[in-house]
Amino acid sequence: MTVSDWTDITRNMKIDYDLEAHPLRIKTDSVVGSDEQVYVLLYTADDSYIGFITLTLSNPPQYYIASCTYSTPSPVTPPAEQDKIWTITKTASAWKVECNGVEVLNFLFSESTRSICVTTWSQDVGKITFYSQDTASDGYLPQPGIHYYITSL
């Protein structure tokens, strides 16, 4: 990945992104304890809202997956480096989050205490939005081979 590969974050704009086909890679320069957060809204390809995922760099770091969890301490603390590359992968059954190549979360929908979790996240993500409350995301890698259009919320 080179510097020119990264796209600057524009908040509150929908971006075509097939999250099942391509992990979302986000760069940040936030440290644990800063309380900055990655906050991504997720939609189907036809603009139906699905939910969101947040990663908060509190001490300890927390994650929140809409319809599945409440704010929950991360099972693994991300690496200490200030510059981080987050890789967020969604499958039909789980969210997986890596930071600088270290897995910090592997959340199975079926393990949620909320029955709506599996139903909510069985939908395919076709668009993403970096929400206005996202204070950590500095850039992302666009999905390969897609011609993007961006629409406001």
Domain presence at residue 151: no
Q: Is the CB of residue 136 less than 8 Å from the CB of residue 57?
A: yes
Domain presence at residue 148: no
CATH code (residue 131): 2.60.120.200
Q: How confident is the model at residue 147 (pLDDT cuts 50, 70, 90)?
A: very low
Two structure tokens written together for 10? 């524009």
Domain presence at residue 123: yes
Domain presence at residue 56: yes
Q: 38: domain range?
A: 8-141
Task: Find, among 42, 52, 58, the residue nearest to 136 by Cα.
Answer: 58
Question: What is the tens place of the pLDDT at every residue in 124-135?
Answer: 999 999 999 999
> Model's pTM, two decimal places?
0.90
Domain presence at residue 150: no
What string of H, E and C letters represents the secondary structure of 74-116? CCCCCCCCCCEEEEEEECCCEEEEEECCEEEEEEEHHHCCCCH
Task: Find, among 64, 45, 54, the residue nearest to 123 by Cα.
Answer: 45
Question: What is the tens place of the pLDDT at every residue in 9-47?
Answer: 999 999 999 999 999 999 999 999 999 999 999 999 999
Domain presence at residue 66: yes
Domain count for the chain, please give it.
1
Say what the pLDDT of residue 125 is: 97
Domain presence at residue 112: yes
Domain presence at residue 149: no
